[in-house]
């Protein structure tokens, strides 16, 4: 679902920004514009409700973290309304649930702010994001050999088409018998891998393509996202999106040759 925004200015100079839809790389410009406008309108605090968000990847998380920083830089209180179990699990897995100021309800956020004002009286002590702890790379296991189903897509390097790859892989996984939570993990991993291609693979993405391949091997689903771009330089550091892929998939490989492209190979094991 395309991203939608609803902004309301409440009493005491607080702005409530309600989001509905998908938060990924295809809506970064819209997110930036809406967030900047909310910052301008807010006088005391900004509350962002994610109750209507049906999908969020590292692009959405990054935009949210940036907004938090901008709010603090402007002397504003900041809170996120986050009660969806799936999104809470994602942030918890990444070590952000205890860092990002989040609440189950709007009332909870206001109560906490008032409590802080009573306790501190002088100024709100702002939370600071904790650095992400580097994880060791996942060592891929040997894959089963019997291939049953296959799918391949050639996709233009446009942010709006990330959802096509994401939903195609989700449908493929559902047909193979993965449960809802596993399918959501697969959607997130595919979204991150495709976003990486669009943002980093090519100097100029116009006219460029990348491939998404899926196949099954016994009880495993294998997904490859392939590009023919710059490749990864020797000694590159994993970014946030890569860490998310490693978190939600069972085995991950980054196969790359500088100047020739990159393959992100991801394996999800079906639990039976």
Q: Return the percentage of the chain with pLDDT > 90, whole number.
A: 49
Instruction: Please give the Cα distance from 139 to 173 (Å, whole number).
Output: 23
Whether the predicted pLDDT of 211 surpasses 60: yes
Q: What is the DSSP track for 106-163?
A: HHHHHHHHHHHHHHHSS------PPPPPPPPPPPPPPPP--EEEEEEEEEES-GGGHH
pTM higher than 0.75? no
Domain ranges of the chain: 4-120, 147-269
The answer to whether the 4-120 and 147-269 domains have the same CATH topology is no
Decide yes or no: CATH 3.40.640.10 for domain 147-269.
no
Q: Is 80 exceeded by the pLDDT of residue 40?
A: yes
What kind and span of H or E run contains 55? strand 45-56
Query: pLDDT at position 138, please?
Result: 33
Q: How much of the chain exceeds pLDDT 70, in percent? A: 86
For residue 223, the number of C-alpha atoms closer than 13 Å in the C-beta half-sphere is 32
Mean pLDDT to the nearest integer, 193-220: 91
- pLDDT tens-digit profile of 107-140? 999 888 888 777 655 443 333 433 433 433 333 3
Q: pLDDT tier at 234 (50, 70, 90 boundaries)?
A: low
User: Phi, psi at residue 257, to the nearest 5°?
Assistant: -135, 125
pLDDT band at 232, cuts 50/70/90?
Answer: confident
The mean-pLDDT minimum among 41-50, 148-157, 234-243 falls in: 234-243
Q: Mean of the per-residue pLDDT values for the chain?
A: 84
pLDDT band at 238 (very low <50, low <70, confident <90, very high): low
91 CA to centre of own chain = 9
pLDDT grade for 269, boundaries at 50, 70 and 90: very high
Mean pLDDT of 14-28: 93
Q: What is the pLDDT of residue 33?
A: 93
Indicate the DSSP class of residue 270: P
Q: Which CATH class is domain 4-120?
A: alpha beta
Cβ(7)–Cβ(34) below 8 Å: yes
8 Å CB contact between 159 and 198: yes
Q: Are the beta carbons of 186 and 170 closer than 8 angstroms?
A: yes
């Amino acid at each position: 679902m395309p991203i939608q925004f609803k902004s309301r200015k409440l009493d005491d100079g607080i702005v409530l920004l309600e989001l509905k839809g998908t938060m990924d790389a295809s809506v970064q410009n819209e997110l930036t514009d809406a967030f900047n406008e909310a910052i301008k309108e807010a006088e005391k605090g900004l509350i962002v409700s994610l109750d209507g968000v049906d999908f969020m990847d590292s692009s959405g998380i990054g935009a949210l973290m940036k907004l938090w920083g901008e709010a603090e830089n402007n002397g504003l209180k900041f809170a996120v309304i986050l009660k969806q179990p799936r999104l809470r699990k994602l942030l918890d897995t990444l070590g952000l649930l205890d860092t990002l100021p989040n609440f189950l309800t709007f009332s909870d956020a206001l109560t906490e702010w008032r409590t802080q004002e009573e306790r501190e009286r002088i100024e709100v002590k702002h939370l600071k994001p904790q650095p992400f702890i580097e994880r060791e790379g996942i060592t891929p296991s040997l894959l089963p050999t019997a291939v049953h189903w296959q799918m391949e897509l050639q996709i233009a390097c446009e942010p709006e088409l990330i959802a096509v790859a994401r939903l195609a892989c989700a449908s493929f996984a559902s047909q193979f018998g993965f449960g809802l939570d596993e399918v959501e993990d697969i959607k997130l991993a595919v979204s991150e891998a495709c976003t990486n291609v669009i943002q980093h693979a090519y100097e100029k993405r116009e006219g460029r393509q990348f491939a998404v391949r899926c196949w099954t091997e016994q009880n495993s689903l294998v997904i490859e996202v392939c590009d023919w771009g710059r490749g990864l330089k020797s000694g590159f550091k994993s970014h946030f999106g890569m860490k998310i892929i490693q978190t939600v998939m069972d085995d991950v490989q980054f196969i790359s040759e500088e100047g020739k492209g990159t393959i992100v190979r991801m394996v999800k094991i079906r639990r039976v």
